[in-house]
Structure 1
Amino acid sequence: MPISRRHLLTRSALAGLAAAGALSGLDARVLARAAKTLYLSARADREGQFFASGFDADGAKLFDLPMPARGHGAAVSPDGQHGIFFGRRPGRFALVVDTASGTVVHTIANAENRNFAGHGLFVKGGRLLLATEIDYEGKRGLIGLYDAADSWRRIGEWQTGGMDPHDLRLLPDGRTLIVANGGILTHPEVQRLKLNLDSMDSSVAFIDLNDGGLIEQRRLPGEFFQLSLRHMAVTADGETVVAMQYEGPSTDLVPLVGLAKPGRAIELLEMPDMAWSTLRNYCGSAAVDAAGRILGVTSPRGGRALFWEAATRRPLQPLDLADGCGLAAAPVPGRFIVSNGLGALVEYDPLNGRTRALDSGFAGARWDNHIFTG
């Protein structure tokens, strides 16, 4: 049976909004967004099979499709018609899903001598799909360009100015891309072995969407060269929160979250040492809430998610969730959807520390690293 992309909020969700006093501040547009919000995430089951999954804001299953290998990131077209699931690095496929029918309508194969790096993004009103890619032999990062109106044909590529490109986002000006170059040299023949930890060169690159030209590039101070900049989200003020992973000695204690913006150095967020130590030098996902005012990161190794008020940098109430990594904005401003590798799917409000379990219907799910929404 075809699945509509417009899903009504359940009575329990509306009751939760009313109880929190939120409905008075929500207009029809916010409720309409909540009614049609679609979430995508890769997952595995107990037998080790991999799936591309879609669910709504209450966790109700919309589709659950087999994947040929483990997935990682995803992208939703602006009209919600298509969801793209990217294979985990070194990715050799991207599945194109029709979200209304819940079917795979196309598989994009990796280009010759190129592999998908796990993330992608729709731009130009959904006409163009961008995907981070790696040229292993050339030791360089790329953005692959795919024409969504022409059977997802690959029509070109842009360089990212570094190695190991991972996440990418579009800034609010609609003209500037930001790409996280993780800076780690790997090769498919040696699986996920990291080959250059003593000479890493991680950065964020700002790229012109019109021609792929490099506008500027920002790196952390030299003492933090082993911080790999990896996952990102953009605030309402145009700042990009960057979640990092540290490849140096496990006994080191380093900041793991930064804020990037064109024309200035990367700002490292301050937290008490104890807060950083709980993350075990690893952040897995980044997201901002629906209003773009609250930012969050997760640490599956530390079993904790941290949140800040973007404008003031004020820390909010953390969430403890074992192996929690997937993170996305809930439809209601101020709230997040969080998943973990043990099957949990919850809505969390870092302003008051309230958690609502979502009955996902994905029995035995082992959620992968990320959740994406339109």
Structure 2
Amino acid sequence: MRRRAFLAGAAAASAIPAAAWAEVGAPAFLAAAREPSGAFALIGLGPEGGEAFRVPLPARGHAAAAHPLRAEAVAFARRPGTFALVLDCRTGAVRRRLEAPEGRHFYGHGAYLGGGTVLATTENDFAAGEGVLGLWDAHGGYRRMGEWRTGGTGPHEVVRLPGTEVLAVANGGIRTHPATGRRKLNLAVMRPNLAFLRDGAAEEVVELGEGMRLASIRHLAARRDGTVAMALQWQGEEGEARALLALHRRGGGAPRLLEDPATQGAMRGYGGSVAFSGDGARVAVTGPRGGLAQVFPVAGGPAGIVRRPDICGVAPAGAGLAFTDGRGGILHPGGARRAGVAWDNHLVPVGPG
């Protein structure tokens, strides 16, 4: 699958008849949640956390990909899930059920390319122990088009760099196999990396350094200038207070690690989600196990701390940030509110990007 296919699809994107996001309450975010009944749903939220729509899910969701033009979202099962649902957010209908090919499973994330005509999904080629991006024709009924190698093991999140067709992939470095569930099979030799892919080729592959080899790169956010933030999960000894946030821009040398000495131990080695503020001046990493988020000035300086039990979801909101937690809390620049659901890990912004 090459660039000319993206461009041809993008030119035809406007011909696809579907509801616009404005027709479903103009949500600012998408989030998976567990309802009090134990059922699961994907919920659209307004800028201050009000519910715009709710679509049932058959099992626990992890994250979603919001189509840049249509009121359509792809909800991903928690890894090692083998399905993803293409949802009509206006009617609640399931337009397509994407099944991972034999020998693959999804990792819970995806991103659109080509003006919304191609969906890329992070997947595990578990026999080979290698990461792949599955490519799906979002213009043609989400037909499987092929796949690209990610240049690493255990790719978790993928994001498109704003204004480009470059994909940043968090190759977490951890090998797993469905036969052994979520057991980590290669910690002694794991090598996580951040890979930048264009047209299936790796333009740059970055590692954090030997001292951070056990920091699995899991979640990503991209700023408008192409700077990528990485949320890390430490696989070394419990209690080791390591940085859980790194920044990198293509061609910019080694990644820059950010940590707050006063709260690093309280993060308990686990970065749950990451986002830049709406104005791009700050970057946040959440620590659900420790009940806090660290918010760093990108230009440098001490971190601000947000404390909420089980805080995990984070996304840009206005010039600032919005957060969600596993107890139904929603914190936004204008205040806070609580929903009658338990939010899952991620808060996904809706918009063209």
TM-score, normalising length from structure 2?
0.89
Task: Give the drift of 1:89.
Answer: 0.8
Q: Summarize the alignment of residues 168-207 of structure 1 with structure 2, pairs less than 5 Å apart.
A: 168-172=158-162, 174-207=164-197
In structure 2, which of residues 321, 328, 351 is the aligned counterpart of residue 343 of structure 1? 328
CA distance in 2, matches of 1:37, 1:80: 12
CA distance in 2, matches of 1:140, 1:237: 30
Structure 1 counterpart of 2:47, one-letter code: A
Task: Give the drift of 1:306.
Answer: 1.2
Structure 2 counterpart of 1:344, one-letter code: G
- Contact 1:260 1:266 survives alignment (8 Å): yes
Q: Which runs of 5+ in 2 are unaligned?
A: 1-17
Q: Summarize the alignment of residues 1-374 of structure 1 with structure 2, pairs less than 5 Å apart.
A: 5-6=21-22, 36-172=26-162, 174-208=164-198, 211-310=199-298, 312-330=299-317, 332-333=318-319, 335-348=320-333, 356-360=335-339, 363=340, 365-374=341-350
CA distance in 2, matches of 1:130, 1:4: 22
CA distance in 1, matches of 2:291, 2:121: 29
What is the DSSP-based 3-state SS (H/G/I as helix, E as strand, rest coil) of the residue aligned with 2:101? coil
What is the DSSP-based 3-state SS (H/G/I as helix, E as strand, rest coil) of the residue aligned with 1:273? coil
- Contact 2:328 2:338 survives alignment (8 Å): no
Task: Give the drift of 1:47.
Answer: 4.1
Structure 1 residues 340 and 202: CA distance shift in structure 2, 3 A: same
What is the DSSP-based 3-state SS (H/G/I as helix, E as strand, rest coil) of the residue aligned with 1:269? strand
- Contact 2:244 2:285 survives alignment (8 Å): no
Report % sequence identity: 35
**Count of matched residue pairs:** 333
- Contact 2:151 2:195 survives alignment (8 Å): yes
- Contact 1:235 1:295 survives alignment (8 Å): no
> What's the Cα RMSD here?
2.1
Task: Give the drift of 1:103.
Answer: 2.9
Structure 2 counterpart of 1:216, one-letter code: E
Match of 2:14 in 1: none
Task: Give the drift of 1:61.
Answer: 1.9
- Contact 1:130 1:146 survives alignment (8 Å): yes
- Contact 2:27 2:52 survives alignment (8 Å): no
What is the DSSP-based 3-state SS (H/G/I as helix, E as strand, rest coil) of the residue aligned with 2:81? coil
CA distance in 2, matches of 1:73, 1:278: 25
- Contact 2:242 2:259 survives alignment (8 Å): no
CA distance in 1, matches of 2:204, 2:286: 28
- Contact 1:269 1:313 survives alignment (8 Å): no
Structure 2 counterpart of 1:233, one-letter code: A
Structure 1 residues 62 and 37: CA distance shift in structure 2, 3 A: closer
Structure 1 residues 345 and 307: CA distance shift in structure 2, 3 A: same
